[in-house]
Amino acid sequence: MKNLTVICFLVVLGAGSAAFATTTHQMWNFDDQASLVPDVVDNQFGPPVLMVNTSPAGGWVPDPSGQGGAWALSGEIDVIIPNDPIQREFKVIQLLLTWRPGDLGMLPNRPLVGVSADPMTAMTMGIINEPIADTPWTQSLYSITIWPNPASEWIAIKGDIVVDKLDITTECIPEPATMGLLGLGSIALLRNRRKRS
C-alpha cells in the first residue's frame, strides 16, 4: 500500500508540474526586410515584439541564392516576450540562434546575449555552439534560467554578426512546494474516496 501511495504521489506531482508550467514559443526566419513579425507564435499571453537597431553599416541582406536573407547587425536585436503574469519560482529560456561572423570590424564577431527582467534576482546561462557543415553558419543554443520568473523579459543580442534565424522558447516553472501540496492533496482525496467505498 505504501508503494502505491508513493507511485500515486509521483504521478500526480508530475502531472501537476506539467499542468502548471506555462510555455511560449516564437520563431523568426528573417526571410525579408519586413520579417520582424514572427513566422511562428505560440504564446497565449500576447505577441512578442522584436526590434532591430542597426547603424547604416548594418541592415537586412538578401541571400546570394535569392532564397530569403538575414540581418547584418551593427547594433542589436531586442526581443520582448510576454509571459505568465503569475510570479513563479523561476523561468527557463531556450534561445536557438543561427548566425555567422560579420565583417564590419566594429564589435566582437560573435553573439553577445543578455536578459533583463523585473523582477530578476539571479541568472545562469549555458551555451552550445554547433557549426553547420559546409556553410559559414553556426547554431548556438543558449540555455538561460532566471529567478523568479517575471511577466515578461527583454532579450538583447549584440555583436558584429549576421543573424539568419532566431527561435525562443520559454517555460515558467511552478514552485516545488506548491506541486508537493497539490500531490499530497490529491493523495488525501484518493484515500478518502477509497475509505468511503
Residue 175 in contact with residue 89, Cβ under 8 Å? yes
Cell numbers placing 7: 507511485
Residue 18 has pLDDT above 60, yes or no: no
The residue ranges of DSSP E strands in 63-137, in sequence order, are 69-72, 76-82, 90-101, 112-117, 122-131
Residues 177 and 124: their CA atoms lie apart, in Å, by: 22
Look at the block and give the residue holding cell 554547433.
130
Residue 14 has pLDDT above 90, yes or no: no
Q: What is residue 75's predicted lDDT score, i.e. its pLDDT?
A: 82
Residue 179 has pLDDT above 70, yes or no: no
Look at the block and give the residue holding cell 547554431.
139
Distances (CA, A) of 158 to 14, 51, 127, 154: 38, 12, 15, 13
Q: What is residue 7's predicted lDDT score, i.e. its pLDDT?
A: 42
Please name each of the domains of the chain with its CATH number: 1-21+175-197 (no CATH), 23-173 (2.60.120)
pLDDT (tens digit per residue) in 19-53: 567 899 999 999 887 668 999 999 999 999 999 98
Distances (CA, A) of 55 to 75, 103, 114: 6, 14, 20
Question: Maximum distance among all alpha carbons in the chain?
Answer: 76
pLDDT (tens digit per residue) in 67-92: 788 988 878 999 999 998 888 899 99
pLDDT band at 175 (very low <50, low <70, confident <90, very high): low
Q: In what order do the strands lie in the sheet with 152-158?
A: 49-53, 76-82, 152-158, 112-117
Cell numbers placing 41: 507564435
DSSP 8-state symbol, 131: E
